[in-house]
Amino acid sequence: MTTPRYATVVLDVDSTVSGIEGIDWLAGRRGGDVARKIAALTDDAMRGAIPLERVYGERLRLIKPRRDEVDALARAYVDALAPGCAVALAALRRGGVDVMLVSGGLRNALFRLTLALGLDEQSLHAVDAHFDAGGAYTGFDESSPLATSTGKRTVVARAGATRPTLMVGDGSTDLAARPACDAFAAYTGFVRRESVVSAADAEVRSFAELETMVMGPVAFSRYNRQ
């Protein structure tokens, strides 16, 4: 059996494991100016134009998502799963690779996706949202490092992931985790942010490529930026 090049693969979720941006999906239910403003703020944060901590709470305050809407988002995440993702992650796990999901998204909405991928609750690191007894939004875990630009680096370091570790994602907050990992691959299957790709160790366009990068006989350099 081939020895994996990485003992742990850490995955972003929004626009990586799943093809949606959860906060933008929730904003879309508000429509109009709210949806446009949230989409612009999300894009600015993912490109690194503004720190995530400047917009994280503001976006949720503007949307005020209800519990039932977050439940609907949980189903949407699963429906928008990246092509080949479940198959590739199952192959990695069979090969002895640990898989972690590290996301600035809402944990409440990501738990269903985690289970759909065959992962356990401990594999998911995300931000808790809070609701009252009637399902109205009351806030989020403001102590979570994942609501900040460099929080993924903190979470990966604290998790004690087995090395070597590969971080995979599409945004600047994923790239910021690079110091806690051995390599960073920019995932461009849904969106390609040049500022992220240019700073990555490699670019992968699909989960089939990711599986080969981690497990296959093809050299890592095949996926280096062209």
Residues serving a catalytic function are: 12, 14
Nearest CA among 226, 217, 221, 222 for reference residue 4? 217
Phi/psi at 87 (5° precision): -65, -45
CA angle 139/132/107 to nearest 5° reads 50
- 97-118 burial by CB neighbour count: b if 16+ within 10 A, else e? bbbbbbbbbbbbbbebbbeebe
Dihedral sign from CA coordinates of 73, 85, 209, 158: positive
184 near 178, Cβ under 8 Å?
yes
113 near 89, Cβ under 8 Å?
no
